[in-house]
């Protein structure tokens, strides 16, 4: 029997979250962001749940080709555009939309002779200072793009630095001031702006993390009351039980000391599975349907939990590390990271299963 740890992927949760995006931004089309192998969930695995998306956005040329080979015939956006001229020779036959954020990419398009002109998203650096043309440079770049024969349409795009915890008006204002008189679709909003900044919804939104049910701010509290469903459950079992006497410790570094007689459960899950080693004592874990907490240090293949509130739980008891009942952000936050990182970092050795019931036509037809 393999180790009892597994990740379960819930297609109906992704479908539900996508519908939530559509209801929240009802006049926008949706680029479903599936970079980083669909935030760790697996592109091929979650693909059936994207049927209602208007477009797919990602980073890797390989991933874009995989999506086309799955049969996707609506737009595919390369969020960082191409890295070298040869990439355009792939973007052309696979009809990829490319983000263009610098003059070097315009040079590549100016020199390219694609069979069909290529749609681009011209990216403005409205304050994030990562990729894009500065506002003062944007119109010049747009004029240049509009004269390049290899370019079909020009969408206008920018990305927010702190839509999750702050105001976005300064970036929206910078974007609008320069683009007001330019034609083309607008695309500004990541997950946080979809949830919290309707002003920025515009023609196309670009949600990633909320499709998978994680919090755009990394904080579970911020999405309380928003009916997002976890697309991944990381689950395992209790593979050992110890009874500690007061004064005894558990695990490496002896960081946890029992102050009373207590039962400790050993879970088959460690940092080599993608569980954060920095998770402190007190991080929530669900054992046999009861919420309890981590004690002691997370090791490579195991972690330990307090079984005091789960008197009935013994060897083989089911454990949820994150998922439906424990938001991934509740594990990420005390560990000094965000849910995004934990989902993307699920280790290869963890078996992944898809809820098969989800792909039935019946479920597809169900209202959210
Ligand atoms: C990753 C990414 C997104 C999605 O961000 P989330 O916070 O996951 O919604 C949107 N736009 C761009 C340009 C991105 O790189």
* Tens digits of residue pLDDT in 289-322: 999 999 999 999 999 999 999 999 999 999 999 9
Q: Please, is 334 exposed, middle or buried when counting C-beta atoms within 10 Å of its C-beta (0-12, 13-18, 19+)?
A: middle
- Write out the two tokens for 358: 């989800």
209 pocket-lining for ligand 1 (C-beta < 6 Å): yes
The answer to whether the CB of 33 is under 6 A from ligand 1 is yes
In the predicted structure, residue 363 carries a pLDDT above the cut 70: no
Residue 337 has pLDDT above 60, yes or no: yes
* 22 touches ligand 1 (CB under 6 Å): no
Please, are residues 128 and 161 in contact by the beta-carbon 8 Å criterion?
yes
Condensed to tens digits (0 to 9), the pLDDT of residues 261-275 reads 999 999 999 999 999
**What CATH architecture does domain 232-326 belong to?**
Beta Barrel (2.40)
Report the pLDDT averaged over residues 18-45.
97
Q: Are 287 and 238 in contact (CB under 8 A)?
A: yes
- 55 alpha carbon – ligand 1 mean position (Å): 14
* Distance from Cα 105 to the centre of ligand 1, integer Å: 20
- Choosing from 35, 138, 212, 271, which is the catalytic residue? 35
Distance of CA 42 to the CA centre of its chain: 11
Look at residue 200 and give its three-state secondary structure: helix
Ligand 1 atom 15: the closest Cα is on which residue?
Answer: 79
Architecture of the domain defined by 11-214: Alpha-Beta Barrel (3.20)
Query: What is the model's pLDDT at position 357?
Result: 53
Is 123 catalytic? The answer is no
CA of 159 to the centre of ligand 1 (A): 8
How many angstroms separate the alpha carbon of residue 125 from the centre of ligand 1?
14
Choice between 360 and 183, residue whose per-residue pLDDT is larger? 183
| Residue range(s) occupied by CATH 3.20.20.10 in the chain | 11-214
Average pLDDT, the chain: 95
Q: Which atom of ligand 1 is nearest to the CA of 157?
A: 13
Enumerate residues 6+ apart whose C-beta is below 8 A from 355: 8, 9, 10, 11, 12
Q: What are residue 99's DSSP bridge partners?
A: 121
Burial track 51-90 (b if 16+ CB lie within 10 A, e otherwise): eebebbbbbebebbebbbeeebeebbbbbbbbeeeebbeb
Among 20, 164, 186, 208, residue to substitute to test ligand 1 (most atoms within 8 Å of Cβ):
208
Q: How many angstroms separate the alpha carbon of residue 120 from the centre of ligand 1?
A: 17
CA angle 22, 26, 30 (to 5 degrees): 50
**pLDDT score recorded for residue 360:** 41
Active site residue 94: no
pLDDT tens-digit series, residues 133-148: 999 999 999 999 999 9
Q: What is the rounded distance in angstroms from the CA atom of residue 13 to the CA atom of residue 240?
A: 32
Given 39, 47, 138, 252, the catalytic residue: 252
94 CA distance to ligand 1 centroid (A)?
A: 22
Give percent of the chain above pLDDT 70: 96
Top pLDDT among 1 and 107 is at: 107
Instruction: Tell whether ligand 1 has an atom less than 6 A from the beta carbon of residue 207.
Output: yes
Question: Is any ligand 1 atom within 6 A of the Cβ of residue 213?
Answer: no
Q: Which residues are paired to 262 by β-bridges?
A: 244
DSSP-derived letter for residue 133 is: B
Residue nearest to atom 4 of ligand 1 (CA): 208
Residue 77: beta bridge partners? 57, 97
pLDDT value at residue 164: 87
Residues of the chain with CATH 2.40.37.10: 232-326
Minimum CA distance residue for ligand 1 atom 6: 208
pLDDT in tens, 169-222: 999 999 999 999 999 999 999 999 999 999 999 999 999 999 999 999 999 999
Q: pLDDT of 122-135, one tens digit each?
A: 999 999 999 999 99
Quote the pLDDT of residue 356.
62
Smallest CA separation from ligand 1 atom 1, residue: 208
Angle (deg, nearest 10), helices 169-179 and 135-146: 40
Residue 1 has a pLDDT of: 79
With beta carbons less than 8 A apart as the criterion, state whether 308 and 270 touch.
Answer: no
With a 6 A CB cut-off, is 216 part of the ligand 1 pocket?
yes
């Amino acid at each position: 029997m393999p180790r009892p740890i597994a990740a379960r992927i819930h297609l109906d949760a992704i479908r539900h979250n996508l519908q939530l995006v559509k209801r929240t931004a009802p006049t926008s089309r949706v680029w479903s962001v599936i970079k980083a192998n669909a935030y760790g969930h697996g592109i091929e695995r979650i693909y059936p749940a994207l049927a209602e998306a208007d477009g797919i956005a990602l980073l890797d040329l390989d991933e874009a080709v995989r999506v086309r080979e799955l049969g996707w015939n609506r737009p595919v956006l390369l969020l960082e555009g191409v890295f070298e001229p040869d990439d355009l020779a792939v973007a052309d036959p696979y009809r990829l939309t490319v983000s263009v954020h610098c003059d070097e990419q315009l040079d590549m398009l100016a020199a390219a002779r694609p069979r069909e002109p290529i749609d681009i998203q011209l990216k403005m650096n409205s304050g994030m200072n990562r990729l894009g043309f500065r506002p003062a440079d944007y119109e010049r770049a747009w004029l240049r793009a509009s004269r390049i024969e290899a370019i079909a349409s020009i969408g206008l795009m920018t990305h927010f630095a702190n839509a999750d915890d702050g105001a976005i008006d300064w970036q929206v204002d910078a974007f609008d001031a320069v683009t007001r008189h330019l034609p083309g679709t607008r695309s500004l909003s990541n997950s946080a702006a979809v949830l919290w900044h309707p002003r920025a919804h515009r023609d196309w939104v670009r949600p990633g993390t909320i499709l998978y049910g994680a919090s755009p701010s990394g904080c579970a509290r911020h999405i309380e009351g928003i009916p997002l469903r976890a697309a991944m459950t990381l689950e395992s079992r209790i593979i050992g039980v110890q009874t500690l006497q007061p004064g005894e410790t558990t695990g490496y570094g002896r960081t946890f000391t029992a102050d009373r007689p207590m039962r400790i459960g050993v879970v088959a899950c460690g940092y080599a599975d993608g569980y954060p080693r920095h998770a402190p004592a007190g991080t929530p874990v669900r054992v046999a349907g009861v919420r309890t907490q981590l004690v002691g240090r997370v090791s490579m293949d195991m972690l330990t939990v307090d079984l005091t509130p789960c008197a009935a739980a013994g060897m083989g008891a089911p454990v949820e590390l994150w998922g439906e009942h424990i938001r991934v952000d509740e594990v990420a936050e005390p560990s000094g990271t965000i849910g995004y990182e934990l989902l993307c970092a699920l280790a290869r050795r963890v078996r992944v299963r898809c809820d098969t019931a989800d792909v039935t036509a019946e479920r597809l037809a169900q209202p959210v």
